Structures are given as structure tokens and as C-alpha cells.
Amino acid sequence: MHKVLLLFSFIGVCYNSVEIGKYLKICKRNSVDLNDCMVDAVRKGIATMIEGIDELGTPPLDPFYQKDLKVEYNANQISAKMEIKNIYVLGLKDAIVHDARVRAEDDILHIEVDLTADKVYSMGEYQGQGQYNALKIQAYGDFNVTMSDLKFTWKLDGTTEKNASKTYIRINSFYMRPDVGSMMTYLTNNNAETKELTTFATGFANQNWRLLYREFLPFAQANWNKIGMKIANKIFLQVPYDDIFPIE
Ligand SMILES: *[C@@H]1O[C@H](CO)[C@@H](O)[C@H](O)[C@H]1NC(C)=O
Ligand SMILES: *[C@@H]1O[C@H](CO)[C@@H](O)[C@H](O)[C@H]1NC(C)=O
């Protein structure tokens, strides 16, 4: 009985190894064309990952779905608590990959990818309460945000991690700080008590979107870091370093 189980688990382990070349273009670590190869690899990688890769457990990227996000903001006499739910982000599939820089060393991996996107559209449900001095406001409803002319660089950093005889990369950080050309927010508010404020609030938000974006950015970045690391590690922790970036 034990032997049979052992045999099955052994077969299981063998079949578990992912043939990554099916999904991603492989670039040689020490090639002089590594950066050019990476541009192509990211283009194809995004196209493949749009619908998600079941075998690796990566989620669909466009639309990207996030169940919820909580934000608590306290500054400039404003305190606000917001919970955003059922968030969908659309637009990554039309992003253009312009350039990439890779440093793939024995113990560290650093990847930078320059991208632009004409439009990124997000929508979801929100529930929020805010306080400005003595003024308290509660609101809930739907929202959508349209961002245009985005320019951003993905920066991924990882370190090697050994597992039995194989070496993997663990991505420890995912960073981006998108430059946004314009941002337009719409809110519906289903709270009858504050409904008449909604038009004013949205107008204010859209007139001051740069300020709003800057204040919201740290929350978004913490969120992206978590998501980016999780998705990247679905690949890097399941596929040996030498299979993703083989040495020539
Ligand atoms: C965004 O929400 C507003 C208000 O609910 C709606 O009128 C508009 O059509 C939505 N935008 C898009 C692109 O769906
Ligand atoms: C370690 O190896 C197992 C089986 O080979 C694999 O499933 C697992 O993902 C590996 N873990 C890491 C952190 O590399």
C-alpha cells in the first residue's frame, strides 16, 4: 500500500514539472540580446497571461478581478475609510511593451519593463465614510475610473532560493509608479442622506484628480506590490531559474 502511494506521489512530482516554454518565450541569461529577447518575452507573456494560466494558477490579467481593497486615509484634517469590492480592471491587453532591462545573476534577478497604455478602465462597488473636521459623510454605490495616456515601468526584484537540487527565484518586490495623462471618476451614491453631495464630490474629485491620484498612490502601490509578487511567484517559484533563464 505504502509503496503504491509512494509510486503515485513520485509520478505526481514528475508530472508536476511545468514545461514553461509552452507559455513563455525563454531568454538565455548570459546572451548579449537578453534585453531584446525580454521585450518579446513580455509581449508574448502578457498575451498568454491575459486569460490566466491554469497549470500555474495565474489569474486572468484582463479583465483583472480583485475581490476587495480596504483603504484608510488620515491627513490634512481628513479621515476616510473606504472599502472597494468586486473591482475589475480592463486595458492591460492593449498595453505596449517598449523596452526591458534584465540583470540575471547567480543570486539575484532584476527586471524592468517600460510600458504605455492608452486607457485603463476600473469599476467596482464602494462603501466609504469620510470626516472633514466636524463634517461626516457616508456613501455607497458604484464607481468607475478611466485613466488615459499611462506610462509605467514594472520593476521586479528577486533572490534565489534552493529547493532540493533546483534553484528558484523568489520575487520580493514589484514596483510601479504610473504617470497618468488624465483621470475621470464617476460615482453613484445610494445613500439618500448624502445623495445631493455626490455631483459636487465627483466634480471636485475630477477637478483635483492629480492631487487625489498622488494621495491614493501609496495604497495602490502597496496593493500592486502584493498582487505583482503573487502572480510573478506563481511562475518563478514553480519553474526552476535555469528553465526560465537558462545559461547558454
Ligand atoms: C461610468 O459610470 C457612469 C455613472 O454610473 C456611467 O454613466 C458611465 O457610462 C460609466 N462609464 C463607462 C465607460 O461605463
Ligand atoms: C519545491 O519543490 C516542489 C516539488 O518539486 C515544488 O512543488 C515546490 O513548488 C518547490 N518550492 C519552491 C519554493 O521552490
pLDDT in tens, 181-224: 999 999 999 999 999 888 988 999 999 999 999 999 999 999 99
Buried b (16+ CB within 10 A) or exposed e, 218-236: eeebebbeeebbebbbbbb
Phi, psi of 85 (to 5 degrees): -130, 155
167 lines ligand 2 (CB under 6 A): no
Q: Which amino acid residue places its CA nearest to atom 12 of ligand 1?
A: 144
pLDDT tens, residue by residue, 29-54: 999 999 999 999 999 999 999 999 99
At residue 188, the 3 state secondary structure works out as coil
- From the list 247, 243, 246, 248, the residue with the least C-alpha distance to 21 is 243
d(CA 63, CA 87) in angstroms, rounded, equals: 10
Write down the residue that cell numbers 439618500 correspond to: 192
Q: Which ligand is nearest to the CA of 14?
A: 2
Question: How much is the pLDDT for 13?
Answer: 45
User: What's the farthest any 2 CA atoms get from each other in the chain?
Assistant: 72
Q: Which ligand is nearest to the CA of 143?
A: 1
Residue nearest to atom 3 of ligand 1 (CA): 186
Condensed to tens digits (0 to 9), the pLDDT of residues 175-184 reads: 999 999 999 9
- Ligand 2 center to residue 73 CA distance, Å? 39
